[in-house]
Amino acid sequence: MEDKKQRIRELLTDALPSVNLDSDFLFSELDSIGVVTVTVILSNEYGIELDSSDITPKNFMNLDSIASMVENKLEGK
């Protein structure tokens, strides 16, 4: 889980340099481009499918919740 979180941090730091990834209000920090960027990056990196039902404030609350969402998706594959 920690490895995954670290990898996601690396990917998002590069793609969204103006976003504070340590925030616990990450969904609020992101605009629609940011949300799409996170979604596309995670889909490409982990080969998972994310749709509108996954893009929720709860799933995008912070890096932990994003990593957890990815874990759940991978387990369900």
Partner 1 sequence: MTEFLTLEQSIRRFAELTPDKTAVLCAGGSITYARLWESVQSRADELRRDGLEPCRPYVFRASQDIDFLITYCAVHSIGAIAVPLEHGALQDNFRAVYDEVSSCTFAADIADILYTTGTTGKSKGVMLSQTALASCADNFIADLHFTADLLFIISGPLNHIASLFKIHPTLTAGGTVYILDGMKDLNAFFSVFELPFRRFATFMVPASIRLLMQFSYDRLCALSDRIDFIETGAAPISSADMERLSRALPHSRLYNTYGGTEIGAVCTYDFNDGRYMEGCIGRPMKNSSVEVTEQGGIRVSGLTIMSGYVADPDSTAAVIVDGCICGADLGYVDAEGMIHLSGRSGDVINVGGYKVNPVEVENAAMSFSGVKDCICIAAEHPVIGTVLKLLVVTPEGAELDKRALAQHLKSCLDAFKLPAYYESVDAVQRTYNGKVDRKYYRK
Given the rule CB under 8 A, which residues bind partner 1? 13-14, 17-18, 27, 30-37, 39-40, 50-53, 55-57
What b/e string do you get for 13-46 counting C-beta neighbours within 10 Å, with b at 16 or more?
eeebeebeeeeeebbebbeeebeebbbebbeeeb
Q: Which residue has the tokens 């998972």?
A: 48
Three-state DSSP class for residue 56 = coil
| Cβ proximity to partner 1, 1 vs 10, nearer residue | 10
| Cβ proximity to partner 1, 1 vs 45, nearer residue | 45
- Say how far apart CA 66 and CA 15 lie, in whole Å: 15
Write down the least CB distance from residue 36 to partner 1, Å: 5
Write down the least CB distance from residue 43 to partner 1, Å: 10
| Cβ proximity to partner 1, 29 vs 71, nearer residue | 29
